[in-house]
Amino acid sequence: MSIRKLCIFLLVVLTVTSSTSSFAVVIGSGNGSGNTNAPSGSNGDLGWNYVGMVNGGSGVYLGAYGGANWVLTAGHVYNDGGSRNFSINGAVYQSVSGSGTNIAGLDLYAYQITVGQGTGLSLLSNLTLAGTSPATGETLTMIGNGKDRADSRTYWNVNTGSTPYTWSEVRPPVFFNASGYKQLSSNSKRWGSNQADGVVTVNSTSMIQTTFDSGIPNEAQAAVGDSGGGVFVLMNDGSYQLAGIMDLVENYSGQPDNTAVFGNLTYSIDVASYRSAILDSVPEPGEFWLLILGGVFLAWVLLRAKKQSQLI
């Protein structure tokens, strides 16, 4: 018997004073403790070195766009009330006060951080934003921060005749119709994989949908704390691009808190759908220098005009 999905939740970032824990990308393979280092192979880190922590949630470093260093994150992470400093690889980069820009009225913000030259993030090339949405079935890499999962699977017998559904934990061979994982108290930065179900509209926003179904190795599902984390797509030439920003999950009715159950959905803001809006807020380097050169040229024209008016 299947159980239908009902509830959609923001991946709300909890403050450090909360008694409730948050957790990261949950992977369905192995004992769940792996994938805490960059993916290995000839295709590089698949975005690992660009994803850090913001206000207890996640954020993605975009690079030095428009003469400043930018981070992209979910709006509810940015507005959580924390410092917005960006922590990655043991370093903490200070946020620039007043630099936050909402993207197209979405739950998406870009803001500046201070990056010293010659070390850390300054050594990374600018991250490429996807120009096309991922195709259905295309493999994605999801990277976020937060709690680890239990090493063993939990099983439930779910009564769908009540509202909300009633969940009773059981042990096979007792009948069950739902299974997944609970969280632990420890946390890690972790990557996982999933395949795009397509791009759907949720809360008037174009979202990449993925389903937690153990369909591929390292199958991933987002949870609290992953908001603002990156979803990356590998290109045919071996490069990778930022395809999405994790934002929402869809759980079953009555699903126990702090669990990832097979059949849950992750919704990530589709970067390709809003690429122009992002770049309008985060100018590309070429656009920045055109603006600078344009300003210099305008100043030169005005100066000449002033001199000419004096000569006349």
Q: pTM of this prediction?
A: 0.85
CB atoms within 10 A of CB 175: 9
11-35 mean pLDDT: 48
**Range of 150's domain?**
5-281
Using a pLDDT cut of 70, give the percent of the chain over it: 79
Kindly tell me if the per-residue pLDDT of 298 is higher than 70.
Answer: no
Q: Give the pLDDT confidence score for residue 34 in this predicted structure.
A: 66
Cα–Cα distance, 128 to 118 (Å, whole number): 21
**Single-letter amino acid, residue 292:** I
Strands (E), the chain: 5-10, 26-27, 51-54, 57-65, 68-74, 86-88, 91-93, 101-102, 108-113, 139-149, 154-159, 166-170, 178-202, 205-211, 220-221, 230-234, 240-252, 259-261, 265-270
How long a stretch of residues is the chain? 312
Work out how many domains the chain is built from and give that number.
1
Residue 266 within any structural domain of the chain: yes
Radius of gyration of the chain (CA): 22
Residue 251 within any structural domain of the chain: yes
Least confident of 8-12, 35-39, 57-61, 125-129: 8-12
Collapsed DSSP state (helix, strand, coil) of residue 7: strand
Least confident of 65-69, 215-219, 255-259, 286-290: 286-290
pLDDT in tens, 83-98: 999 999 999 999 999 9
Task: Tell me the sheet residues that pair with 266.
Answer: 210, 249
Kindly tell me if the per-residue pLDDT of 206 is higher than 50.
Answer: yes
Residue 295 within any structural domain of the chain: no
Cα–Cα distance, 102 to 74 (Å, whole number): 10
Cα–Cα distance, 29 to 22 (Å, whole number): 20
Collapsed DSSP state (helix, strand, coil) of residue 129: strand
Residue 238 within any structural domain of the chain: yes
What is the layout of strands, in order, in the sheet containing 101-102?
Answer: 91-93, 86-88, 51-54, 57-65, 68-74, 108-113, 101-102
Q: Give the pLDDT confidence score for residue 215 in this predicted structure.
A: 83
pLDDT in tens, 208-247: 999 999 889 899 998 778 899 999 999 988 889 999 999 9
DSSP state of 266: E
Residue 306 within any structural domain of the chain: no
Helix (H) or strand (E) holding 285: helix 285-311
pLDDT in tens, 251-272: 999 999 989 999 999 999 999 9
Cα–Cα distance, 133 to 238 (Å, whole number): 17
DSSP state of 15: P
pLDDT in tens, 150-181: 889 999 999 999 999 999 999 999 999 999 99
Residue 157 within any structural domain of the chain: yes
Residue 287 within any structural domain of the chain: no
**Single-letter amino acid, residue 158:** V
Kindly tell me if the per-residue pLDDT of 287 is higher than 60.
Answer: no
73-90 mean pLDDT: 94
Q: Which residues fall within 8 angstroms of residue 120, CB to CB, at 6 or more apart?
A: 88, 89, 91, 93
Residue 296 within any structural domain of the chain: no
CATH number assigned to the domain comprising residue 29:
2.40.10.120
